[in-house]
Copies of this chain bind each other. A is one copy, B any other.
Amino acid sequence: MKHLIAGLLIAGCGLAGAAQADSHMSNEDLMKAAKARQATMQLYAFNIGTLGAMAKGEIDYDADAAKAAAGNLVKLSSQNQMAYWPAGSAQGEIEGSRALPALWENMEDAAAKGGALVEAAMAAEAADDLEALRAAMGGLGGACGACHKAYRAPN
């Protein structure tokens, strides 16, 4: 498991190197990249929303649907997102970005925070009943919040 997580951190979430990758990208390409990460966030939110609604009792707990949503989160969070976060796509550099420049100045930390989301998603996928799912929600919320607090501008 540790090996897998380490692999995901490097191969999957690996953001290190993004900062120096792409000084020649057009504004259009930078915005496409930002939209790719925003689509990823939207899919995180959709799947976490399903899990959260079950955890809160807003919808019935459904083991298959919960496993599906958590499994999707594992796949989405372990994408290699280097191309989604090119240097030059921070807030103030392109339109519609709320990613703070600090993210590109702290790529290792940002990648570690991405890795924490992979781990939290794996824990949610391993949950076999409602109680275990509820216990896993804190990890998911914590992983989202840690990155947003550090690297996302307020709305």
Contact = CB atoms under 8 A, between A and B. Distances in A.
Interface string A28-69: 000011011001101100110110000000000000010011
A71 B75 contact: no
A33 to B, nearest CB: 8
Given A36-B43, A42-B35, A75 B79 contact: yes
A72 interface: yes
Interface of A: 11, 32-33, 35-36, 39-40, 42-43, 46-47, 49-50, 65, 68-69, 71-72, 75-76, 78-80, 82-84
A65 B25 CA distance: 15
Given A39-B43, A42-B36, A43-B40, A72 B79 contact: yes
Nearest to A38: B39
Contacts of A47: 83
Contacts of A46: 32-33, 35-36, 39, 83-84
